[in-house]
Chain A
Amino acid sequence: MAIWMKVLLMSACTTALIACGNKTSKQTVKTATEQAKQETPHEKIAQNPLRNAYFGDLHIHTQNSYDAYLFSVRSTPDEAYEFAKGGKIKHPMGYDMQLHSGPLDFLAVADHAEYLGVLEAMNTPGTEYSKVSYAKDMNPGDRAGIFKAFGYFVESLLTGEIIPELSSTAAPRSAWQETIESAERHNNPGTFTTFIAYEFTSLPRVRNLHRNVIFANGNVPDLPYSALDSQNPEDLWHWLDAQRAKGNDALAIPHNANGSDGTMFERTMWNGKPIDQAYAKLRSRNEPLIEISQIKGQSETMPLLSPNDEFAGFELMTSYIGAAKQITKFEGGYARDALKRGIEIEQKTGTNPYNFGFISSSDGHTSAGPFEEDNYFAKVGILDGTPKRRGSVYPAKYKNWDEYYEDRENPPLSSTWGSAGLSGVWAESNTRQSLFAAMRRKETFGTTGPRIRVRMFGGYDLPEISLATDAGVSSAYANGVAMGGSLIRQAGKTPEFVVIASRDVKSAPLQRIQIIKGWVDAKGQSHEKIYDIACSDNGVIQSDSNRCEDNGASVNLNTCEFSKDKGDAELEARWKDPAFDHTQNAFYYVRVLENPSCRWSTWDAIRANVEPNPKLAKTIQERAYTSPIWLLANRDK
Chain B
Amino acid sequence: MRIVREPLLQFLCIALILFTVNRLVNGPEKYSASQQITISSGQVEQISEQYRLLAGRAPGEQELRALVDDFIDEEIAYREAIALGLDTDDTIVRRRMRQKLEFLVRDQQSYNDPSDEELSIWLAAHATNYHQTERISFRHVLASHDKRGEHAQKDAHSFRQALEAGAEFEALGDTSMLPPSLSLSTQDNIASLFGDAFAKAVFAAQNNEWSAPIQSAYGYHLILITERIPSRPSTLNEIRETLKADWMAAKKQEARNKYLENLRQRYTVNVEWPAKHSSEQ
Contacts and interface: CB of A to CB of B under 8 A. Distances in A.
B192 A451 contact: yes
B181 A28 contact: yes
A505 B180 contact: no
A23 interface: yes
A170 interface: yes
A453 B177 contact: yes
B146 A568 contact: yes
Given A27-B179, A168-B54, A509 B281 contact: no
Contacts of B146: 536, 568-571
Interface stretch (A32-40, A203-211, A248-256, A368-376): A32-40
Interface stretch (A343-351, A429-437, A465-473): A465-473
Interface stretch (A120-128, A275-283, A290-298): A120-128
Interface of A: 13, 23-24, 26-28, 31-32, 34-35, 38, 86, 101-103, 123-126, 128, 130, 136, 139, 168, 170, 386, 388-389, 395-396, 451, 453, 466-469, 500, 502-503, 505-506, 509, 536, 568-571
Looking at A38, A500, A505, A568, the one whose CB has the most chain B CB atoms below 10 A away is A505
Contacts of A468: 175-177
Interface stretch (B32-40, B118-126, B183-191, B254-262): B183-191
A505 B195 contact: yes
A570 B148 CA distance: 13
Interface of B: 50, 53-54, 92, 95-97, 99-100, 103, 135, 144-146, 170, 175-186, 188-189, 191-195, 216-219, 238, 280-281
A503 B189 CA distance: 16
A35 B188 contact: no
B104 to A, nearest CB: 11
The 10 A-B residue pairs with the shortest CB-CB distance, nearest first, are: A27-B179, A468-B175, A505-B195, A502-B177, A31-B185, A102-B192, A26-B179, A136-B92, A569-B218, A568-B146
A268 B280 CA distance: 50
B227 to A, nearest CB: 10
Contacts of B218: 505, 569-570
Contacts of A103: 188
A125 B53 contact: no
B191 A102 contact: yes
A395 B281 CA distance: 7
B64 to A, nearest CB: 16
B180 A23 contact: yes
B189 A128 contact: no
B280 A386 contact: yes
B99 A125 contact: yes
A569 B192 contact: no
A23 B179 CA distance: 8
Nearest to A38: B238
Given A102-B188, A125-B99, 4 more contacts: A467-B177, A502-B178, A570-B144, A570-B176
A569 B144 contact: yes
A24 B180 contact: yes
A388 B92 contact: no
Nearest to A31: B185
Nearest to B177: A502
A451 B135 CA distance: 23
Given A102-B192, A126-B100, A509-B217, A26 B144 contact: no
Given A168-B54, A469-B175, A502-B178, A569 B145 contact: yes
A388 B280 CA distance: 10
Contact of A32 (B53, B145, B184): B184
B281 A23 contact: no
B276 to A, nearest CB: 15
A505 B92 CA distance: 50
B217 A13 contact: no
Given A31-B183, A467-B177, A569-B219, A505 B281 contact: no
A32 B176 contact: no
B192 A28 contact: no
Contacts of B191: 102
Contacts of B145: 569
A136 B144 CA distance: 62
B97 to A, nearest CB: 8
A500 B238 CA distance: 41
A503 B281 CA distance: 39
B176 A27 contact: no
A28 B195 CA distance: 17
A257 B53 CA distance: 40
Given A31-B183, A31-B184, A569-B219, A505 B177 contact: no
8 contacts: A31-B182, A102-B189, A103-B188, A168-B54, A502-B177, A505-B193, A505-B218, A569-B218
A505 B184 contact: no
A123 B98 CA distance: 12
Nearest to B239: A38
Contact of B179 (A24, A124, A505, A506): A24
Contacts of A503: 217
Contacts of B193: 27, 505
A396 B182 contact: no
Looking at B53, B177, B184, B195, the one whose CB has the most chain A CB atoms below 10 A away is B177
B281 A388 contact: yes
A130 B170 CA distance: 68
A394 to B, nearest CB: 11
A505 B194 contact: yes
